[in-house]
Amino acid sequence: MAAETKIDDEIEKLRQEIQELRRNCAAKEKRLSELEAQQQKQNEQANAQQQQTSASSDQMLNNDDIARYSRQLILPNFGVKGQLKLKQTAFLIVGMGGLGCPSSQYLLAAGCGRLGLVDYDEVERSNFHRQTLHTEMSIGMAKVESAKQALQQINPHCQIECHRLLLNSENALEILRQYDVVLDCTDNVATRYLLNDACVMLNKPLISGSALQMDGQLTVYNYGENCPCYRCLYPVPPPPDTVTNCGDGGVLGAITGVIGSLQALEAIKVALGGLGGEVLAGRLLIFDGGRCQFRNIRLRSKRADCDVCSPKPMITQLIDYEQFCGMHASDKDMALNILPLENRLTVEEYKNEVLQRKHILMDVRQPAEFEICRLPNSENVPLKTILNDSYLQRFEEELKDEERGIILLCRRGNDSQLAAQHILQRFPQRAVFDIKGGLHAWHFKIDNSFPIY
């Protein structure tokens, strides 16, 4: 016991000391960059006086630039001109998640002049597998700040601006106006429409990437004469129940890595006028990671009757996008409330009153999720097999016993309601309940050693 306490104490002490050192280090880095900026300014002034020219740091390359960017400077279509152009371009990355991390990293490393980061969220452990700028030490920190810290280590010569907020119709135009190229690295439909409309109104190119599970998609909107906008392709938002986010559907980090890196590539090409190739405008790249297959699709031209980009647009100022889409502008799940209260059990009620009685506990999550963690007495009955009634056959014997309660369980208490509702329609007389808050509630209220994901 004594030895354990000693180790605990030492671990705690070390953690605090490291944190203190990091704070010191951050303060020193800040001071250093201030002094460096001051020095550079003085040098430039001296140079300017000497040479009687007005060349500023974004109109010429210094020795650090030349060494740092040499491998791209020697690219035939890039050159000094390209490097200077990049230095004069401001990029805005909306969403510092799986797509925003790699795209910001490559843009910054390549030497973009100014980089804006937008995200309202904080770093959590489930981000790490794909959001590669954030580290263990930044848990709980604002994603934009955590990303800025990491990015400054990669290239201290670029200006990074943090916008810690949820982009909406009120603030979007004001922020986007300060940048030349916008990258859509978001995770929800409402913000995608918002960014599209704002970019059309301000005439900014929009590099749009998305990813889910093993698939990715990429295109450039609002670049060139005939290029369709997001609304030209999708005039009507998808029904909310057809939209899956990464939190529910999962995604492999290497998939967002591929798409995010390609977003950086297209953003650089847009800034440099194509880089001797062809920007992905009017085309859609689809990436099937399962088969490692890329496909390039030719897209339609602008819609003559597009609500936002046609000559006579219906939408001339930003609207309420959450209302328009019937969905929230975040991938955080919203609690569903479709089941009558009398059919809902709290985790405590389940544990104290139902557990001892005759019942079937159906866990309606996907098999892959069930494999991660489960309650010992539960059966895995994926929601799909309830909605298509194939559970009837599987539980034929159990269902004959009308005394037996049917309890539905899922991760957070949404799918369990859908399942309970479906079963109640067939067996209105039976005791059918769902467990409020699902396994998350189990973790927080009953057993905090039960994992959450």
Residues marked active site are found at 246, 410
278 lines the binding site for another protein (CB under 8 A): no
Smallest gap from residue 267 Cβ to another protein (A) = 15
166 lines the binding site for another protein (CB under 8 A): no
194 lines the binding site for another protein (CB under 8 A): no
Residue count (the chain) = 453
Q: What is the DSSP string of 270-298?
A: HHTTTTTS--SBSEEEEEETTTTEEEEEE
Which of Zn ion, another protein, none does residue 309 bind (CB under 5 to 8 Å by kind)? Zn ion
Pairing status of strand 215-221 against strand 206-212: antiparallel
Whether residue 245 is annotated as binding a ligand: the answer is no
Tokens matching residue 310: 């046609």
Tokens matching residue 340: 């009558």
Choose one: 104-112, 264-272, 291-299, 309-317; the region binding another protein (CB under 8 A). Answer: 291-299
Question: Which residues lie below 8 Å from residue 290, measured CB to CB, with a gap of 6+?
Answer: 214, 215
Question: Which residues lie below 8 Å from residue 217, measured CB to CB, with a gap of 6+?
Answer: 209, 210, 211, 259, 284, 285, 286, 287
Smallest gap from residue 388 Cβ to another protein (A) = 8
Smallest gap from residue 417 Cβ to another protein (A) = 17
Whether residue 112 is annotated as binding a ligand: the answer is no
Residue in 65, 187, 266, 369 binding another protein, rule: CB under 8 A:
187
Q: Which residues bind Zn ion (CB under 5 A)?
A: 229, 231-232, 306, 309
Which of Zn ion, another protein, none does residue 306 bind (CB under 5 to 8 Å by kind)? Zn ion
Residue in 49, 203, 295, 429 binding another protein, rule: CB under 8 A:
295
CB 185 within 8 A of CB 93: yes
Whether residue 301 is annotated as binding a ligand: the answer is no
In the block, tokens 């200006």 appear at 159
Smallest gap from residue 217 Cβ to another protein (A) = 5
- How many residues sit close enough to another protein to count as binding (CB under 8 A)? 50
Closest CA to 97 of 161, 214, 176, 186: 186
Residue in 33, 45, 135, 244 binding another protein, rule: CB under 8 A:
244
Pairing status of strand 359-363 against strand 405-409: parallel
Interatomic CA distance for residues 35 and 179, integer angstroms: 26
Smallest gap from residue 302 Cβ to Zn ion (A) = 6
Distance, C-alpha 125 to centroid of its chain: 14
95 lines the binding site for another protein (CB under 8 A): yes
Interatomic CA distance for residues 272 and 1, integer angstroms: 65
Residue in 35, 66, 297, 335 binding another protein, rule: CB under 8 A:
297
Interatomic CA distance for residues 75 and 257, integer angstroms: 24
Pairing status of strand 283-288 against strand 293-298: antiparallel
299 lines the binding site for another protein (CB under 8 A): yes
What SS3 class is residue 166? coil
Which of Zn ion, another protein, none does residue 244 bind (CB under 5 to 8 Å by kind)? another protein
User: Side chain identity at 174, as an amino acid letter?
Assistant: E
Q: Which DSSP state fits 364? A: -
Which of Zn ion, another protein, none does residue 346 bind (CB under 5 to 8 Å by kind)? none
Binding residues for Zn(2+) are: 229, 232, 306, 309
Binding site for another protein (CB under 8 A): 95, 97-100, 185-189, 192, 209-213, 215-217, 233-239, 241-246, 249, 251, 256, 284, 286, 288, 291, 295-301, 331, 384, 387-388
